């Protein structure tokens, strides 16, 4: 096991700057998820950690030692990809033990490693099968088995669940998390799926356009997103982002919407008439006949346990998730309120969270 430091790590392909200076400390035994939209540089960064891409600038340290010039096979890192890259003509057993066998490790030792991996991954009954005779989830477990027998210092995963159907993804999510508990291994896990990030990570690194937007525990990021990007990226349905201006009322600071709706806020901000973006999580709306928010309904989705309401407040799109089963038709107006402490505020120009909010 090892810790990992990235110190102002940059990547350039010719004239293109792909990563603009990544700083990150990963502790020994930590499960860190890199999440961000497609093309933001997640795989590039992971491949640099693995030694499969050169580092244009900055330093990567694994277990305290500079790794920039260390070839991949000497890094004691194991990487699992989206395409499992199993040998189709080999049995599960031979796929898992391929590494130890080409390294000519003792057969007894290899057998023990295989047993351990197979029992952790529930593959005991499938050892003589070939990949073509397995389900997607089982193939994914074989790929993980091949990683485990290496006893790596660092596990790297690049979107390993993207090829699985929704149900299997949820199951594998739990299994990878359980694996992390058993091994107390250091894991860097890449995904574009914010639910995977929220449910699996000790800490999430949100990336966008080759930069880190914010680093923190899932709930830190969910409860206090540092900027509009993180606010909109994490959470499903997404946070509503509503334009308004900061004003003073007899009851304190508030936001005025374009239709003159006044929404009280808890923040201690100067009511200077500045443009702000109000952020409200869907689950924080309350049905309230006297509430200040007038939501014009576009679509209602009953999920059984909740009602998902899609609509708009003035020009801004709003999604509300209500516990109640309500009957409301498209075009009707729903009155809602939100507790002032639950309102997020962002500077409309910079997109940054406003201090005091
Ligand atoms: P992600 O994994 O987050 O989807 P990638 O790390 O694969 O993103 O890619 C980040 C950016 O780097 C993309 O814009 C991609 O086009 C670019 N890129 C990746 N590999 C190369 C390469 N070999 N040459 C030039 N550009 C590349
Ligand atoms: Mg990628």
Q: Which of 319, 311, 336 is nearest to 237 (CA)?
A: 319
Please tell me the predicted confidence (pLDDT) of residue 357.
Answer: 52
- Give the residue, out of 14, 15, 16, 206, with the most ligand 1 atoms within 8 A of its beta carbon, to mutate for a pocket test: 16
Return the minimum-mean-pLDDT range out of 47-56, 95-104, 298-307. 95-104
* CB-CB contact of 117 with 182 (8 Å): no
Work out which ligand 1 atom sits closest to the CA atom of 42: 3
Residue burial 279-317, b: 16+ Cβ < 10 Å; e: rest: bbbbebbbbeeebbbbbebeebeeeeebbebbbebeebe
Q: What share of the chain is helix, strand, coil (3-state, %, to 5)?
A: 25, 35, 40
The neighbouring-strand residues paired with 296 are 312, 333
**How far, in Å, from the CA of 357 to the mean position of ligand 1?**
36
In order of start, what are the domains of the chain with their CATH numbers? 4-233 (3.40.50.300), 240-347 (2.40.50.140)
Which of the given ranges, 133-142, 176-185, 318-327, has the highest pLDDT on average? Answer: 318-327
What confidence category does residue 103 fall into, taking pLDDT thresholds of 50, 70 and 90? confident
Q: pLDDT (tens digit, 9 = 90+) per residue, 71-97?
A: 998 998 998 887 778 999 999 999 999
CA pair distance 53, 111, nearest whole angstrom: 33
Please tell me the predicted confidence (pLDDT) of residue 356.
Answer: 58
Record the pTM: 0.91
What confidence category does residue 140 fall into, taking pLDDT thresholds of 50, 70 and 90? confident
Q: Does residue 185 or residue 67 have the better pLDDT?
A: 67
Mean pLDDT (the chain, rounded): 92
Please tell me the predicted confidence (pLDDT) of residue 99.
Answer: 87
DSSP state of 172: H
What mean pLDDT do residues 334-347 have? Answer: 93
Q: pLDDT (tens digit, 9 = 90+) per residue, 238-249?
A: 999 999 999 988
CA pair distance 129, 132, nearest whole angstrom: 8
302 is written with which tokens? 């009953």
**How far, in Å, from the CA of 26 to the mean position of ligand 2?**
20
Q: Which of 229, 228, 237 is nearest to 357 (CA)?
A: 228
Q: pLDDT (tens digit, 9 = 90+) per residue, 280-322?
A: 999 999 999 999 999 999 999 999 999 999 999 988 999 999 9
């Amino acid at each position: 096991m090892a810790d990992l430091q990235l110190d102002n790590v940059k990547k350039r392909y010719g004239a293109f700057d792909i990563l603009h200076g990544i700083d990150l400390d990963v502790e020994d035994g930590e499960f860190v998820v890199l999440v961000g939209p497609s093309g933001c540089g997640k795989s590039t960064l992971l491949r640099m950690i693995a030694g499969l891409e050169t580092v244009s600038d900055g330093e990567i340290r694994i277990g305290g030692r500079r790794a920039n010039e260390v070839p991949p096979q000497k890094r004691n890192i194991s990487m699992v990809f989206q395409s499992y890259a199993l040998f189709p003509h080999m049995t599960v057993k031979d796929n898992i033990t391929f590494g130890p066998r080409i390294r000519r490790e003792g057969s007894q030792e290899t057998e023990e490693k295989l047993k351990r991996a197979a029992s952790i991954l529930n593959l005991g009954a499938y050892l003589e099968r070939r990949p073509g005779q397995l389900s997607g989830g089982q193939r994914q477990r074989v790929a993980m088995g091949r990683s485990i027998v290496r006893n790596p210092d660092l596990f790297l995963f690049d979107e390993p669940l993207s090829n699985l159907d929704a149900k299997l993804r949820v199951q594998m999510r739990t299994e990878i998390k359980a694996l992390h508990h058993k091994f107390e291994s250091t894991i860097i896990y890449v995904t574009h799926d914010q639910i995977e990030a929220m449910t699996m990570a000790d800490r999430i690194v949100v990336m966008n356009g080759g930069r880190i937007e914010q680093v923190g525990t899932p709930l830190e990021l969910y409860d206090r997103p540092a900027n509009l990007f993180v606010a909109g990226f994490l959470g499903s349905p997404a946070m509503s982002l509503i334009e308004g201006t900061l004003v003073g009322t007899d009851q304190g600071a508030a936001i005025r919407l374009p239709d003159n709706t006044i929404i009280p806020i808890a923040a201690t901000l100067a009511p200077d008439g500045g443009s702000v973006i109000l952020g409200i999580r869907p689950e924080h709306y309350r049905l309230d006949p006297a509430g200040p928010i007038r939501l014009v309904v576009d679509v209602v989705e009953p999920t059984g346990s909740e009602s998902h309401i899609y609509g708009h407040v003035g020009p801004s799109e709003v999604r509300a998730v209500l516990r109640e089963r309500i009957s409301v038709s498209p075009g009707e107006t729903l009155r809602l309120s939100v507790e002032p402490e639950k309102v997020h505020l962002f500077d409309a120009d910079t997109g940054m969270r406003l201090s005091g909010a």
